[in-house]
Amino acid sequence: MQAPAVIQPDIANAFSVKSEQVFHRTNNQVYAIVGCNRELGVVSDVWFDRYDRPEEFRHVLRHVLQLFQSGSFRFWLADLRFMTSDFSHSEDWLMDEIMPAIFSAGMEREAVVVPNATIENEGVDTFASASRTIRSLANGRIRAFTDLALAKQWLLDGELPEQP
């Protein structure tokens, strides 16, 4: 019997999120878990290893959109630390469809937690070098972090960490 899939313990502890939906590859391996904390207004998506097809990536983000459309959420924590798939195949879809819809559904801020080697400065605007369209939509509301405590501080309080 396979153990139930749960959100990463550090994410669960920091944001008191509970697993809401688990996403499996065709071989039954978990590739993502979406969790939420309605009291804090936080949706989280935690990614593991890889997914097989772009549609699997899109399925998770459509689910996140549905949660925001429920009106219960304002903040999004995306944990990409353990994701090994490249989602460049969905960049146009992200910019043209899903992110505008999520912003329209009430998302105020998104903290993206990435592996340590990915960013140089905590709180960097993750769309600073992206297309003009998504940059104008995001308006600084999507930031990348390697430190979960700093991500939480910014996500819930809107405070960016001090730069050295």
Question: In which domain, by residue range, is 91 found?
Answer: 9-157
- CATH classification at residue 118: 3.30.750.24
Residue 162 lies in a domain: no
pLDDT digit string (tens) for 104-117?
999 999 998 887 77
Residue 4 lies in a domain: no
117 part of a folded domain: yes
Count the domains in the chain. Answer: 1
Task: Name, in order, each residue with C-beta under 8 angstroms of 43's C-beta and a sequence gap of 6 or more.
Answer: 34, 35, 36, 64, 67, 68, 73, 75, 76, 77
User: Does 137 reside within a domain?
Assistant: yes
- Whole-model pTM? 0.84
> Is 81 inside a domain boundary?
yes
Are the beta carbons of 78 and 44 closer than 8 angstroms?
A: yes
Largest Cα separation within the chain, whole Å, is: 49
Question: Is 110:141 a contact under the CB 8 Å cutoff?
Answer: yes
**Is 101 among the domain residues?**
yes
- Asked if residue 39 is part of any domain, the answer here is yes
Q: Identity (one letter) of the amino acid at 145? A: F
Q: Among candidates 92, 90, 98, 59, which has minimal Cα distance to 47?
A: 59
For the segment 56-89, what is each residue's pLDDT rounded down to a tens digit?
A: 999 999 999 999 999 899 999 999 888 888 777 8
